[in-house]
Structure 1
């Protein structure tokens, strides 16, 4: 027998469980009004372009042994853009969610971002100290880039979820 007081979020056979929206109405309003949203929207594709250029330079160095300085410099520039987007992202998260980091809506993305930062930082330390050989440093950069790609996919997925939430709320509002 069914429970008439069961929440609509309770999974039912044959139906997908209902997840809470990514943003409350107030958070969405703060997000839409914040200059930090625009800054993140500009920095994300800039960082991706820097990543692609650097990836090409690192792979060229590993394949041919040429272009060591350009590859190393490109990883440093990529790391700088990563830190820039992380700092501005923390500010954005504080404005929208009231927390500098690890807001529930972005908890796992932020957690994985820590691994991305750790690997990029390890590259900088290895480059600065000579702790690893240049080829080893480039392989470390590729590991950092792999985690960056996973993290970027997480954020793109969240952006899609936010758009779907917004479309559902507009549809629900039109039906009411």
Structure 2
């Protein structure tokens, strides 16, 4: 399968091969991702409220700004550790076929968050324009988070299906296995 094919190009196949699943389960980077992802989401939720509050009320610019910077820092942390995780599990730092489209959207997310930080540091645009850039970054993050949630839900389902198949001889279902 080429890198340009989406993970769905492996239709009928589980997200992970047995070797990839073993590497995923053995690496500390899986735990790191499992810790960073909810922390980043919490930072996103808090920051989103602060940014929207600033845009609606014109108050709380410093808090909104710092919250976006913290969210961006967490994004970089999860992207770097995620690339390491992908290398350990799939043998490449980014764009492994199983996560190709998630990684493509992640690049958009990184670009927009970085654009916000550059705007803020360089003083480009008004604070309102900067916050709109943050909202664009957050919209892309929400799409990307949904991609990953759907991917992991599918992986969990195929993993459960594989365990069900493994519990029967050669995956065959008998009359009592309904």
Shared fold per TM-score greater than 0.5: yes
Distance in 1 separating the partners of 2:91 and 2:153:
22
Q: What's the CA shift for 1:21?
A: 1.0
Aligned length: 160
Provide TM-score, normalisation by structure 1: 0.89
2:76 is aligned to 83
> Residue in 2 aligned with 1:29?
22
Q: Does 1:133 align with 2:134?
A: no
Cα deviation code 1:142-169 (max 9, x no counterpart):
0000000000000011111110111111
Structure 1 runs, 4 residues or longer, greater than 6 Å off: none
Give unpaired runs (5+ residues) of structure 2.
Answer: 1-9, 170-178
Q: Scaled by the length of structure 2, what TM-score is found?
A: 0.88
Q: Deviations over 1:65-101 (max 9, x none)?
A: 0100110110000000000000000000000001000
Q: How does 1:81-120 map to 2 (within 5 A)?
A: 81-120=74-113
1:23 and 1:144 mapped to 2: Cα distance? 30
Note the residue ranges of structure 1 that are not aligned, 5 or more in a row: 1-16
**Aligned partner of 2:148 among 138, 155, 160:** 155
User: Could you tell me which of 20, 38, 61 is aligned with 2:54?
Assistant: 61
